[in-house]
């Protein structure tokens, strides 16, 4: 298996630190507001990678953090209180955390092995900061504010992740530059301010305060995966400054940190970058109201993980059509094979071409092409009454959709398949099919053909089989 390592900007053979095991740390959400389509895509990308590593025999320990203390969380909580609300910052953070969890769950994203909150690892953060000060790579502000900064110019490797020169970097905007030695130095610890809640600060050797954004991931990854682990993942927008600063502070503190850096691409909306100023943000709750969760999962997981996705008005309809082809094949092959010696005979094995695509930096578009070609071949085998080939194709399709988490036969998706609209459609079409069957029994073929033509015009395909007539919606 090969992965694109952002740090070296090249594909690398994946070799884990420990045979048979993979430690993966993924930057999770800052729970300041509701999740949007980009958050869902990022979580789904690492769910796909995790599932494939599991399929290839690796025991994956996945850590995805929750940033539950941050400038924006405090600002948003204060704004709500100013408008008459009584919600504390920690309550606001937890409320949004639940929204993220609900979105992940709806898409079938498997829960991480560990999902630590930043506020639960304050001690570990302070220990790293102390090591950095001791090694001469960090300093406490001389003005007694309680701020502690990382000395950027004192670490020669700074900029290696994004291949930037310190001389070309702008000032770090993650903290009040009250007593920075260099404007590019970033905050490790932020001294408590009078206008901030007392509950949003912790005691430290440098005074009461709270952690900077970057230090939390260094602390939590080391706490749960060790000083050296296999894969660090996150959105492309986190490469700088967040991941650059994580790498600098961890390695300056003496930790080897991540062996592979993996970054997923972002999501545009109708060709434009998603932003609050443009008013084009697509939130998880809105996205999931437009289509079944399985359809959303298919769409968000259909592009190569490193590419920029573009969400357009027809995107979900295309995903729905693709899933209908898969579900239609399952429905058709299962009806035809029932009662034959081929029922249940298709081994659930991944085709070689699918495996090669997934091993090649998780090339899911190519893997999906194999999946849909197998569906096409399975339908062709049914047309030719080659039941052995049809059964084999079914087994391959089951295996591929299972590893991608998009098998429409899985219980988690079948629950949502019986939506009210589907139930109503089934009743209406079923009634017409009954009328058609009665007409055929009475040899009123003109009426039977009329009903069939009426259904065809509405996009409904009728298939006459030995077990009766069955219908499907044309894609």
Domain ranges across the chain: 2-264, 314-413, 420-473
CA dihedral sign of residues 112, 113, 118, 120? positive
Lowest mean pLDDT, pick from 10-24, 29-43, 74-88, 219-233: 74-88
If you average pLDDT over every residue of the chain, what do you get?
91
Confidence of residue 330 (pLDDT cuts 50, 70, 90): very high
CATH topology of domain 314-413: 1.20.120
- With a pLDDT cut of 70, the percent of the chain lying above it is 94
Taking the C-alpha atoms of residue 258 and residue 247, their distance in angstroms, rounded to an integer, is 8
CA dihedral 453, 458, 463, 468 (to 10 degrees): -90
Q: How far is 204 from 191, CA to CA, in rounded Å?
A: 9
pLDDT at 170 (0 to 100): 85
Predicted local distance difference test score (pLDDT) of residue 417: 47
Q: Are 39 and 29 in contact (CB under 8 A)?
A: yes
- Identify the pLDDT of residue 428: 63
pLDDT at 271: 87
pLDDT at 173: 81
The C-alpha atoms of residue 62 and residue 29 are separated, in whole angstroms, by 15
Residue predicted with more confidence, 304 or 427: 304
The pLDDT value given to residue 167: 86
Highest mean pLDDT: which range of 77-86, 189-198, 463-472: 189-198
Read off the pLDDT band of 259 (50, 70, 90): very high
Q: Decide if pLDDT at 42 tops 80.
A: yes
Report whether pLDDT(226) > 70. Answer: yes
What is the C-alpha to C-alpha distance for residues 244 and 7, in angstroms, rounded to an integer? 10
**Using CB atoms within 10 A of its CB, is residue 427 exposed (0-12), middle (13-18) or buried (19+)?**
exposed
Mean pLDDT value across residues 129-134: 98
CATH class of 2-264: alpha beta
Contact predicate 158/175, CB 8 Å? no
Describe the crossing of helices 352-359 and 364-383 by its angle, rounded to 10 degrees: 170
More confident residue, 82 or 6: 6
The beta-strand segments (E) located in 53-132 are 59-64
Model confidence over 140-178: pLDDT tens digits?
Answer: 998 888 999 999 999 999 999 999 998 888 888 887 777
């Amino acid at each position: 298996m090969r992965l694109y390592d952002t740090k070296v900007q090249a594909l690398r053979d994946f070799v884990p630190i420990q045979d048979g095991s993979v430690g993966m740390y993924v930057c999770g959400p800052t729970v300041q507001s509701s999740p949007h389509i980009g958050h869902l895509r990022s979580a789904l990308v690492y769910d796909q990678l995790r599932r494939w590593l599991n399929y290839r025999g690796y025991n994956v320990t996945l850590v995805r953090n929750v940033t539950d203390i941050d400038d924006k969380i405090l600002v948003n909580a204060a704004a709500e209180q100013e408008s008459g609300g009584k919600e504390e910052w920690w309550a606001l953070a937890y409320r949004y955390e639940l929204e993220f969890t609900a979105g992940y769950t709806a898409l079938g994203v498997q829960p991480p092995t560990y999902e630590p909150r930043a506020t639960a690892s304050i001690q570990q953060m302070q220990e790293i900061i102390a090591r950095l000060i001791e090694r001469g790579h960090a300093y406490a502000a001389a003005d007694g504010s309680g701020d502690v900064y990382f000395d950027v110019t004192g670490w020669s490797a700074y900029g290696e992740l994004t291949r930037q020169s310190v001389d070309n970097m702008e000032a770090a905007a993650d903290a009040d530059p009250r007593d920075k030695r260099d404007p590019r130095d970033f905050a490790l610890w932020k001294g408590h301010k009078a206008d901030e809640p007392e509950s949003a600060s912790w005691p430290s050797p440098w005074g009461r305060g709270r952690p900077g954004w970057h230090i939390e991931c260094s602390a939590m990854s080391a706490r749960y995966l060790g000083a050296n682990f296999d894969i660090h993942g996150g959105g492309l927008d986190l490469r700088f400054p967040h991941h650059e600063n994580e790498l600098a502070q961890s390695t300056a503190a003496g930790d080897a940190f991540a062996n592979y850096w993996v970054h997923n691409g972002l999501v545009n909306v109708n060709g434009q970058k998603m932003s609050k100023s443009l008013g084009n943000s697509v939130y998880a709750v809105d996205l999931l109201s437009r289509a079944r969760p399985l359809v959303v999962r298919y769409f968000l997981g259909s592009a190569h993980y490193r590419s920029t996705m573009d969400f357009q008005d027809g995107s979900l309809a295309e995903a729905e059509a693709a899933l209908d082809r898969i579900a239609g094949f399952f429905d058709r092959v299962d009806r035809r094979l029932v009662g034959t010696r081929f029922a249940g005979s298709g081994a659930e094995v991944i085709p070689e071409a699918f495996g090669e695509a997934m091993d090649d930096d998780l090339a899911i578009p190519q893997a999906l092409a194999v999946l849909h070609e197998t569906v096409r071949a399975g339908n062709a085998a049914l047309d030719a009454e080659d039941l052995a080939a049809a059964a084999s194709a079914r087994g391959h399709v089951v295996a591929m959709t299972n590893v991608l988490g998009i098998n429409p036969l899985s219980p988690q998706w079948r629950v949502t398949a019986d939506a009210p609209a589907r139930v109503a459609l089934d009743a209406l079409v079923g009634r017409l099919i009954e009328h058609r069957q009665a007409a055929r029994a009475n040899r009123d073929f003109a009426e039977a053909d009329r009903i069939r033509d009426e259904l065809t015009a509405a996009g409904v395909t009728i298939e006459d089989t030995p077990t009766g007539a069955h219908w499907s919606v044309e894609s």
